[in-house]
Amino acid sequence: MQHYDYIIVGSGIAGLYAALMARKHGTVLVLTKGSIDESNTKYAQGGIAAAVGPDDSTQQHFIDTAAAGAGLVDENAAHILTGEAPDRIADLVGFGVPFDSTDGAVQLAREGAHSVPRVLHAGGDSTGAHIELSLSALVQHSEITVLEHCLATGIVVEDGKVVGIEALDYQHGLPMQFNCRFLVLASGGAGQLYRATTNPDVATGDGIALAYAAGAEIMDMEFYQFHPTALRLPGVQPFLISEAVRGEGGVLRNGDGRRFMEDYHPQKELAPRDVVARAITAEMAAAGSDHVYLDVTHLPANLTASRFPQIYSFCGEHGLDITKEWIPVSPAAHYLMGGVRTNVWGETNVQGFYACGEVACTGVHGANRLASNSLLETVVFAKRVVERTLNGSSPTFQSREAVRLGDAYRGEVPPLTLGGLQTLMWDKVGIVRNGRDLADAIHVLSAWQAVLPEPHDRPSHELANLLICARLVAGAALIRQESRGAHHRTDFPQASDAWQRRIVFRRDANEYA
């Protein structure tokens, strides 16, 4: 059996950056279930936030981050995120990421809920792709071992410590196992939980499900961020229309052509994402429509085409000239604020087991992530993970208030399919929720769990992982009897001080959700 000092699961920016840091301190294996560059990072358009401008400060970045998080941001984590951001940007520049600049000065854009322009971008709206390609090239030309098309299927824990990982080479049907000193989970989010998502097919919550099964704590799962503006065209998969489009002056209009965001928030189109997503949902419901419009026709055509080449090109390929026509948009599942609970060093409650990126939850985003803090989070905490492994420390936290999922029970429900799961989550555990719908969803999800066959290939493993994540999201959403950030309940429409706390799941907890 092969042994590595570090096994890293996932090849987005979090996994690749961690691998590049770890290679200096031992042998490294990167496992990824797709190709090395297939991840959410690749599709991140807006950019990466950092206080590097002359009119900005890390303290102001912290203030904006905390404000967007609706009272649940872990302030220590947020100070670390914003304070270390400039140095991590310097690292990325050193790794060859070509951030856009003018006359030698980096270009900074403004996005929703940021008080000043502080978002760096590369290739206009292709920031994630540029970072992913720069880092993957370095990894592939190093001594790091990369196994593509290899799906992690189990975390091996002995005497409370991670010792390895089980995996499946699904192209050849071969089970594998590798031993390690440190396991770093960087497997991304779970956008495929929902019928409409900006995430690629690989975002199936694998890491969260594996971590839960291994005894790691899972936190803040009720907070799923729906991006307000995904392209809505018949027969076309949702395509992200970046926050930066509104940052450049894009205006949201309803079917009557009226600019409506001024009715909902003083920051209008630059309000926090949860506010904009709910406003769009309300406008669609009032009009009986499946979309509103994002209007950039008043901006110079050459600015739109050059600043957003990916969006301009994609829309053009589908017969839409965004310099002359309004863009039909609607919300789509985008980012999971919750995940595997870690401290600010990426440690979980299981010794030797670390997590970083979207799969992890430090509490830094609170109830609603500030735009373009996601790419930043990956590099800040990936570096801290590797630093922590050098100190020989072990985690000491474990929540005394953790709950666990109730036992699955049989019931009369439709057969489980991916489409059925996604529709159930969209309809009953989506942008706007209520107790009755959540209870109904939990009943169906539990009944599906009771009859789920043993997974044997990639699709069946992914469906099983999504089912666990769905139960965690719905369970947390039912427990939290208030509205806060991305979690909105019509039966509890206000935020409550009593709920200014976290919901934590652990498989071996004594309580039931």
CATH 3.20.10.10 describes domain 407-504: no
Out of 273, 341, 404, 480, pick the active-site residue. 273
pTM above 0.85, yes or no: yes
Token pair listed for 357: 């990126």
Cβ burial, residue 390 (10 Å; 0-12/13-18/19+) = exposed
If pLDDT is split at 50, 70 and 90, which confidence band does 513 have? very low
CATH level 3 topology of 228-332 = Flavocytochrome C3; Chain A, domain 1 (3.90.700)
Catalytic site includes residue 253 = no
Cβ burial, residue 67 (10 Å; 0-12/13-18/19+) = middle
pLDDT tens digits, residue range 11-63? 999 999 999 999 999 999 999 999 887 765 656 666 899 999 999 999 999 99
Query: What are the boundaries of each domain within the chain?
Result: 228-332, 407-504
Phi-psi region of 173 (alpha: psi -120 to 50; beta: other; left: phi over 0): left
Q: Give the C-alpha distances (Å, rounded to integers) separating 488 from 225, 284, 495.
A: 11, 17, 9
- Name the average pLDDT for the chain: 94
Please state, in angstroms and rounded to a whole number, the distance separating the CA atoms of residues 472 and 138: 36
If pLDDT is split at 50, 70 and 90, which confidence band does 361 have? very high
> What angle, 0 to 180 degrees and rounded to 10, lies between the N-to-C axes of helices 418-428 and 435-450?
160
SS3 letters across 31-42: ECCCCCCCCCHH
Q: Is 228-332's fold the same as 407-504's?
A: no
H/E stretch holding 93: helix 75-94
pLDDT tens digits, residue range 433-455? 999 999 999 999 999 999 999 99
pLDDT for 312 beyond 60: yes
Alpha helices in 141-272 (DSSP H): 206-213, 243-247
